[in-house]
Amino acid sequence: MRATLPWRHGLLALAVVTVWGTNFVVIKLALGHLPPLLFAALRFTLALFPALLFFRCPPVAWRRMAAYGLLIGVGQFGLLYIAINGHISPGIASLVIQCQVFFTIGLAMRLNGERLRRVQWLALLLATGGIATILAHTDGSVSPLGLALVLTAALSWAGANTVAKQDQPPQMLAYVVWSSAASAPVLLALSVVFEGWDAIHNGLVQADAATWAAVAWQAWGNTLFGYAAWGWLLARHPAGLITPTALLVPVFGMGASALWLNEPLPAWKLIAAALVIAGLALNTLWPLRARASAR
């Protein structure tokens, strides 16, 4: 592994976080025609087929892989799509969902007895200050329900991270593809129950080429390309060179939402974003500095 990141690999990392960040705007555009649970079901169906034909099933317990699929598919994206469907703006959603980092740490403390260090407490305090700022300014771009849905989605993402860490699949992309076999049918069933056949029929009839492109982008761009490229980079470089790039996801998310959806960026949003990103940066970067000092 190299100590520096070649510029081509740096561009690839930037491309991944650009896809992941702007993805929130793509979600909003597709929700103009598709109900959220149906949209999520289609996304994970396309992530499953035809990729299923090219990846062997990972050698992990199916029950645990199914749990990962349900946490990611239903818990994370199902709730996220419902939230963006009129309850929270894509820009704010891209910021709040990053709280999964702190939920993941909390689950590790709960399950493995890990303890927070002082720097992590400070990081958590900064991020909490950002969320509190958002909660204090629930206006037309964010509601308490939307904030609660995205925080629950972040908690589900953290749960999925915990399951994957315990499973340690040899190839994460194959793990994601096969886990979609659990999430896609459950999401479709939930769509039938809660959205109804009429909404499903109307959504499919109204969906245009842009809507289907958004679904494909979710499945193939955000999931398959994102995981494949990220895994490829992590296999060739120290995590400390790659993972800090993910701090740009909410930057791209809020920027794309402002540019393409005309989402306003008043001072309170910028302050909230600064607090959350500062907390994420502190949590991500302090271990790198500690390791460098120990050498």
Average pLDDT, the chain: 89
Categorize the per-residue pLDDT at 189 as very low, low, confident or very high, splitting at 50, 70 and 90. Answer: very high
Please work out, in degrees rounded to the nearest 5, the angle formed at the alpha carbon of residue 285 by the alpha carbons of 93 and 131.
30
Distance CA 223, CA 119 (A): 32
281 located within any domain: yes
Q: Is residue 1 part of a domain?
A: no
Q: Which two tokens stand for residue 42?
A: 């289609």
How confident is the model at residue 139, as a pLDDT?
A: 67
Q: Is residue 2 part of a domain?
A: no
The whole-number average pLDDT for the span 224-240 is 81
Q: What percent of the chain has pLDDT over 70?
A: 93
Output the pLDDT for position 290.
54
Residue with more model confidence, 258 or 247: 258
In this model, does residue 57 exceed pLDDT 80?
Answer: yes
Position 295 scores a pLDDT of 54
Residue 248, pLDDT above cutoff 80: yes
pLDDT of res. 269: 93
Residue 70 or 240, more confident = 70
Mean pLDDT of 50-61: 90
Residue 251, pLDDT > 80, answer: yes
pTM value is 0.91
pLDDT of amino acid 293: 54
Question: One-letter amino acid identity for 99?
Answer: C
Any domain includes 66: yes
Instruction: Give the per-residue pLDDT at 106.
Output: 85
Q: What is the DSSP letter of 237?
A: S
User: Tell me: the pLDDT tens digits for 112-164?
Assistant: 776 777 888 898 899 999 999 998 886 677 899 999 999 999 999 999 988 98
Q: Tokens 């999520």, residue?
A: 40
- Please state the domain count of the chain: 1
pLDDT band of residue 72 (cuts 50, 70, 90) is very high
Q: Which residues pair with 142 in a beta bridge?
A: 88
For Cα atoms 60, 65, 66, give the angle at the middle one, nearest 5 degrees.
145
Residue-number span of the structural domain to which 55 is assigned:
7-294
Amino acid at 64: R
In a domain, 228, yes or no: yes
Q: What's the pLDDT score for residue 287?
A: 64
**In Å, how far are 16, 232, 288 from 12, measured between CA atoms?**
6, 10, 22
- The reply to whether 204 falls in a domain is yes
Average the pLDDT over each of 3-12, 94-103, 205-214, 267-276 and give the range with the smallest value.
3-12
Identify the pLDDT of residue 99: 92
Q: What is the mean pLDDT of residues 227-239?
A: 80
Name which of 245, 53, 43, 62 is nearest 169 in CA terms. 62
Instruction: Report the pLDDT value the prediction gives residue 1, as an integer from 0 to 100.
Output: 44
**Distance, CA of 259 to CA of 165 (rounded, Å):** 36
- Which band of pLDDT confidence, cut at 50, 70 and 90, is reported for residue 246? confident
Instruction: Tell me which of 272 and 234 has the higher pLDDT.
Output: 272
